[in-house]
Each structure stands twice: as C-alpha cells, then as structure tokens.
Amino acid sequence: MSALPGLPGMASVHANSAHDAVVKICTLPLLAGENITAAFVVPTVAACIDLVVHCVRAPNGRRSVGEILALGRRVENGIIESGLVFSTVDGRLTASKTAMPAPEKFTAAGYSVAALMGEF
C-alpha cells in the first residue's frame, strides 16, 4: 500500500544500492527462461517503476534512507535512464537539483514535486 494516497503501491527487494535494486528487478525475470527477454523486461520496468528508495543500516542497527533514485521512461542499450533525487552527503540526505521525478504523475495524484522536495 502506498504511503501517499493516489500513488501506486510499494514493494521491497534486497540490494546494495538503488541502482543495484533496479538491475536485480530487471535480471530476476530472465531466470524464467527463453520465453522472456531483456528487450521486454527492461522497458517494462522503466514504465512501471518511478522511484527506488534505498535504505541503509548504521552500525547501531538503525535504518535510514540512503538514496532515492528516479527512473525515466527512456531505455538506451538496455539501460534505463535514471538520476538520484536524494543522496547522502556528509551524513545527511540531500536533494539533487538535476534529477526530478516525473512531476506529471505526482500532479495527477494531487502532489507538487517542488513542494515535496523543498522548492529549489
């Protein structure tokens, strides 16, 4: 269930980074055999996933968000365009001005990306 009403649901996958999670999501279906190909899986993942939130665990066991990756719709040479929306800089989760998630999806759900990200 989504934390934000009107937005699609969430799922979890274990990976070492947000990018590694995307690679895993694209790779695991290929284990089904020859009836499915990367040419189908990768664009499907790009079309269905907007954000990947990677959580990290501190030495004391506490978890926190380490980075948030936005996936684009474009795929080139089997790679989904993506950009970090938030990353950890000097121990703080910091917004990136260069990678805004698809604002039209948030607007359709009644949210402003600029307001959610603290308006740059």
Whole-angstrom CA distances from 70 to 49, 96, 105 are 8, 11, 12
pLDDT in the model for residue 3: 52
The model scores a pTM over 0.85? no
Classify residue 91 by its DSSP letter. Answer: T
The DSSP secondary structure of 18-79, one letter per residue, reads: HHHHHHHHHHGGGGG-TTS-HHHHHHHHHHH--EEEEEEE-TTS-EEEEEEEEEEEEEETTE
Tokens of 119: 């308006």
The tens digit of pLDDT for each residue in 44-103 reads: 999 989 889 999 998 999 999 999 998 988 899 999 999 898 899 898 888 886 666 667
* Cα separation, 29 vs 45, whole angstroms: 11
